[in-house]
Structure formats: structure tokens, C-alpha cells
Amino acid sequence: MDPDELLVRRAQRGERFAFEQLVERHEHRLYTLAARTLGSREDAADAVQEALVRAWLALPKFRGDARFSTWLYRIVVNAAHDVRAKRREPAAEEPPDPADPRDRFAEQELSGELQRALNGLDESYRVAVVLYDVLGCSYAEIAELTGVPEGTVKSRIFRGRGELAERLGTAVEETESKT
């Protein structure tokens, strides 16, 4: 059973408090998905806001065919795509701006490098690897929420991870021709 089910039903009936609890449960994952996809904290917060407004309005139509989190991720992916299109810019060259002093920790250094590497990937690869490796979605969930077959999802993860490793310089130096 989807652990969110009870809250979802109450939020569907219009209980804002239930929706707020759902937001609290998922906000950091949604924000991470948007931030890693967009490469900007500010844009990510805008995308999350837009997504949550859409989710709140569309909630009565949510039928529970997918897990609630999968449904939310899909809305965030779409909202992030729209925010990017509005900005009419490619992924920012800079890592997310550490505007929040609480985030200025050593571990953010790693994510700074990681973000630069992610920014270089095709958007569809970036979405796939973030959903799979950072948020722990299954191939089937990613296929459902991005609307492509599972084989395509796997291929995107394969290529996304591979390119990422090359950009991070952590993979082997020598690259040979295709398999």
C-alpha cells in the first residue's frame, strides 16, 4: 500500500493540512529532483512551487494508479521543463548557488562538482539518473513518469552514468571505440 494513501485521500477531499503533510514528506526529494535537473536553486524552488500548485489542483483527479510520489515526480519533471523553457537558457554553468548558509558544508563541494557534470548531460539522461540513483525510483516508475519504454530508461541510465563519470574524471583515462 502506498504509505501516502490516507493523507492523499484526505487532501483530495480538500483538507489543506493533509496536503501540507504530504509536502513535508516529499519536499526535499522534489526539490532535489528540480535542482539537479535545472542546476539552479532559485529555479528549482520556482519549479517546486509551480508543481505543488498543479498537484494541489489536480489532486481530485489522482486515481492512485501510480504511487503518489511517482505522480508528484512527473509533475515536477514537467514543471522544471517549463521553467527551463521560460528562462530560455541551457543549464546554468554554475552549480546551485549556496545562498543558504546552512548548505555551505564540505559535502556540498562534492555536489558542486557533481552538478557541473550533470549540467553537461542531455536533460533526459539527467532526469533518468537522478530519478534512479538519487531518488531510488524503479525502471518501471521512471518509464511511467517520463512516458518512454523501460528499455529507453535503461539506456538513458547507462549513457547518463557513463557520461557523468567521464565528466567527473573518475572513470578510466583511456577510452576505446564503441562496443
Partner 1 sequence: MAEKHPNELELLSFVEEELSADERQEVAEHLVACRSCSQHVRRLEAGRGALRASPLLELPEERRREILAALPERREPRRSFRPLKRALVIAAPVAAAAALVGVFVLGGTQLGGGGDADEAAREGAATAAEMQAEAEDSGGVEEAAPEAAHAGELVRSVEGPAAEVVNLLRREGIPAVVDPGGSVTAQGALADVRAALLGRPAGDVAVYVR
Which of positions 77-106 make contact with partner 1 (CB under 8 A)? 78-79, 82-83, 86, 96, 100, 102-103
147's CB contacts (< 8 A; 6+ apart) are none
C-alpha cell of 1? 500500500
Using CB under 8 A, which of 30, 91, 127, 137 touches partner 1? 30
Q: Which residue, among 84, 70, 87, has the nearest Cα to 26 in the 3D structure? A: 70
Least separation in angstroms between residue 87's CB and partner 1 is 10
For residue 4, the minimal CB distance to partner 1 (Å) is 17
Footprint of partner 1 on 127-146 (CB under 8 A): 129-130, 133-134
Hey, which residues between 101 and 130 contact partner 1 (CB under 8 A)? Answer: 102-103, 107-108, 110-111, 114, 117, 129-130
Helices (H), ranges, the chain: 5-12, 16-38, 41-58, 68-87, 106-119, 123-129, 139-146, 150-168
Nearer to partner 1, 28 or 90 (CB): 28
Say whether residue 73 binds partner 1 (CB under 8 A): no
Helix axes 5-12, 16-38, angle to 10 degrees: 110
